[in-house]
A and B are shown apart, each in its own frame.
Chain A
Amino acid sequence: QVQVVESGGGVVQPGRSLRLSCAASGFTFSSYVMHWVRQAPGKGLEWVALIWNDGNEKHYADSVKGRFTISRDNSNNTLYLQMNSLRAEDTALYYCARESDAFDVWGQGTMVTVSS
């Protein structure tokens, strides 16, 4: 079935880095724009970044611009989010989402906690 599965979350100190992965299956990954969306504990959804299906265009939320990098490997059906210079306010559940007119497929998320 169509699904995406995130991994790579954990507890990290402020200023350190972490890389999240999102494994896609059940659909032609290379045909879709993909996103990262996060949700801080008890808070609403916040869009983080998107990458075009061919990887040629990327967009970021101002809150992560210059610190986070989205990328993809279409040969391995995997989406990535490289997170550098992490801050306490980056603590959240990070979701990978497929875009088909809107966010139509979501994973269960992977939790990132930034704390000393």
Chain B
Amino acid sequence: QAGLTQPPSVSKGLRQTATLTCIGNSNNVGNQGAAWLQQHQGHPPKLLSYRNNNRPSGISERLSASRSGNTASLTITGLQPEDEADYYCSAWDSTLSEWVFGGGTKLTVL
């Protein structure tokens, strides 16, 4: 199963801005965009955005997603302690006919 590429970890200070990246190809991220999920330890994932920058209701406006070519990004501004979590990107791969996930990025808020 071909996956998406995410950096394993990102560390930023309180109230700073973090940008998480997700690299795919033209069959997945470059085709229909990516979704982003947040997972706190011991909890199920939570959808943060889909199709690049559509946020479900209740998701903070401090989060924004975007895409450039085959790379999706999630930007979190004004980092708070509760933002410390694992973040996953995901996309439908039209060639594989599978959903693919990135390996996840552990965001640490210092």
Contacts and interface: CB of A to CB of B under 8 A. Distances in A.
Among B46, B50, B51, B98, the one with the most A-chain Cβ atoms within 10 Å of its Cβ is B98
Contact of A59 (B50, B97, B102): B97
Interface stretch (A9-17, A71-79, A102-110): A102-110
Given A35-B99, A47-B98, A61-B98, A104 B45 contact: no
Contact of A108 (B35, B44, B51, B86): B44
A61 B2 CA distance: 10
Among A44, A61, A95, A106, the one with the most B-chain Cβ atoms within 10 Å of its Cβ is A44
Given A45-B88, A101-B54, A102-B35, A61 B1 contact: yes
Contact of B88 (A44, A61, A95): A44
B47 interface: yes
Contacts of A60: 98
A62 B99 CA distance: 11
B104 A45 contact: yes
Interface of A is mostly: strand
B21 to A, nearest CB: 16
A103 B46 CA distance: 8
B95 to A, nearest CB: 12
B51 A101 contact: yes
B103 interface: yes
Given A102-B47, A103-B47, 11 more contacts: A44-B101, A45-B45, A47-B99, A59-B97, A61-B98, A62-B1, A62-B98, A63-B1, A101-B54, A102-B35, A103-B90
7 contacts: A44-B86, A46-B1, A50-B99, A61-B1, A101-B54, A102-B37, A103-B90
Query: Which 3 A-B residue pairs are closest in the complex by CB-CB distance?
Result: A102-B35, A102-B50, A106-B44
